[in-house]
Amino acid sequence: MMQIQVKDEKMLLAGQWIDAEKSFDVLNPQDNKLIARVPKASKVDMLLAIEKAQEAYEGALSWPTHERIRVLTQTARYITDQKDRYARTIALEGSKTIQEARCEVDRAIQTIQISAEEARRLDGRTINFDQSPGSENKVGYSYRFPIGVVGAITPFNDPLNLVAHKVGPAIASGNAVIVKPASATPLSALLLGEAFMESGLPAGLLSIITGSGREIGETLVTHPSIKMVSFTGGLEAGERIAKLAGLKKISMELGSNSPVIVLNDACLEDAVQSCVSGSFSAVGQNCIGVQRIYVEKACYPIFLENFIQTANLLNVGDKLDDSTDMGPLINEKEAKRVEAWIDEAVSEGANVCCGGKRTGSYIHPTVLTDVPNTATIAQEEIFGPVVLIYPVENVYEAVEKSNDVNYGLQAGIFTSDINKAYYAIKYLHVGGVMVNDSSDYRIDEMPFGGVKGSGLGREGVRSSIKAMSEEKVVSFRLKQPLL
């Protein structure tokens, strides 16, 4: 691997790139080497960012839609022109391989492009007031307006595209936005800020404040000028934010424990390939990654055998090598947690069919069978390269077991029987059902979110724009009814 030059980065505060009194290190999880030092913001820094964001929002109330479209379009073009730089940054600071990082950059570009397109479609509707007796002389309409300043808190696993999913819709709908990126992966968020600044975004409408969530996150969440909190992360943190936020909009994507159902009439080759990819891409650190697979008994043995063979072919190694399929987890602490959950399941009767071994921050692709429902790994989000495979009698048992967790983000089902597919669609308690695909499928325009412990509201560009705007009704009383 080539020598990495350590950079001293600055954070973006209301259009200005600034330092802080303190800094923190950004490490490559593959070898724990230092790759950058980033400002560690204080509460004072966050308060200033909020103040400047409110000023910028008020000053941009007449900012025309065509200018929002221009800035977003130019931002997407800027990232496109430097795609390799953005991909390398994602791969260096996070867990993704260089191939996965390139895919994330492409998705982030598309997210920003879609935001530009949706900006022109932020519209309202005419209202027939004369449907109510006594209102024959009323005409009017509704339109949507920006809510103000959005606070965005983003995770490490998609350090560019998940930030784009908050910033793009916020700018498209005319808001100011303050991003607090994950401390493990702040560099990609800062690069997104660079793209917006170079594309002419008015100063103050975007700040990217790096630092400890304990020191600056609570200030962001509780400040009265923040009208919406958009959070992607864990359930425990989401519950705390919900309690702190008070009377403001909240959008939360809090992870999952995603099931996939494979029925006897499915194309097994397709199901195996899709489920292996869904289980182990991004090292399993993916909220819609496949965690539990329920396979009808007649095809269970062959599915399990082929799944294990395919998983064993995955190349685990250097993230920057184009031939690598899977890199390390985000840090050794997380790898040790996943290892402990595997060991706990084994102590309760689970079988390790492949993997189960940890080397530093690496865990090899792991397949478990006979995992008891009481095991932590069966109930909680693994966020690691581990999948649980169970035999079931039929689709009814599969759906029942799929629902038996406190999460409901997405699910998949493989079948050629449309009636069984529709049964799963209706009775799976999730925010999305992927038919003849694994749970690990998403495009950036579709509504995205879950039920139960998987969150509140929906992301996806159009859904986020709607959440980041309010509807205002306008009524005109005429002197006499229209003839």
**H or E element that contains 52:** helix 43-59
Q: What is the pLDDT of residues 419-474, one digit of tens each?
A: 999 999 999 999 999 999 999 999 999 999 999 999 999 999 999 999 999 999 99
Catalytic residue (choose from 93, 118, 194, 253): 253
| 483 pLDDT more than 80 | no
Chain CA centroid to CA 262, Å: 26
Q: What are phi and psi of 249, to 5 degrees?
A: -65, 145
Q: pTM, whole model, 2 decimals?
A: 0.95
CA nearest to 91, candidates 185, 203, 230: 185
Q: What is the pLDDT of residues 100-151, one digit of tens each?
A: 999 999 999 999 999 999 999 999 999 999 999 999 999 999 999 999 999 9
pLDDT of residue 6: 79
pLDDT of residue 481: 63
**H or E element that contains 40:** strand 33-40
| 268 pLDDT more than 80 | yes
Neighbouring residues of 470: CB distance < 8 A, sequence distance ≥ 6: 144, 145, 146, 147
| 2 pLDDT more than 50 | no
pLDDT of residue 7: 83
Q: Are 261 and 438 in contact (CB under 8 A)?
A: no
Provide the pairing of β-strand 410-414 with 432-435.
parallel
Q: Residue range 255-274: average pLDDT? A: 97
Q: What is the pLDDT of residues 324-353, one digit of tens each?
A: 999 999 999 999 999 999 999 999 999 999
| 479 pLDDT more than 90 | no
Active site residue 354: no
CATH of domain 258-444: 3.40.309.10
Separation between Cα atoms, residue 128 and residue 421, nearest integer Å: 40
- Mean of pLDDT over the chain: 96
Q: What is the pLDDT of residues 367-424, one digit of tens each?
A: 999 999 999 999 999 999 999 999 999 999 999 999 999 999 999 999 999 999 999 9
**H or E element that contains 335:** helix 332-347
Active site residue 136: no
Q: According to DSSP H, which parts of 281-417 are helical?
A: 300-312, 332-347, 376-379, 395-402
CA nearest to 322, candidates 98, 104, 106: 98
Question: Could you tell me the strand order of the sheet in which 125-127 lies?
Answer: 125-127, 138-146, 469-477
The residue ranges of every structural domain in the chain are: 7-254+456-471, 258-444
With left for phi above 0 and alpha for psi between -120 and 50, is residue 178 left, alpha or beta? beta
CA nearest to 146, candidates 477, 465, 475, 452: 465
| Structure tokens that stand for 375 in this block | 């095991």
**In the CATH hierarchy, which fold is given to the domain comprising 7-254+456-471?**
Aldehyde Dehydrogenase; Chain A, domain 1 (3.40.605)
pLDDT band at 4 (very low <50, low <70, confident <90, very high): low
Catalytic residue (choose from 275, 287, 299, 353): 287
Separation between Cα atoms, residue 88 and residue 105, nearest integer Å: 10
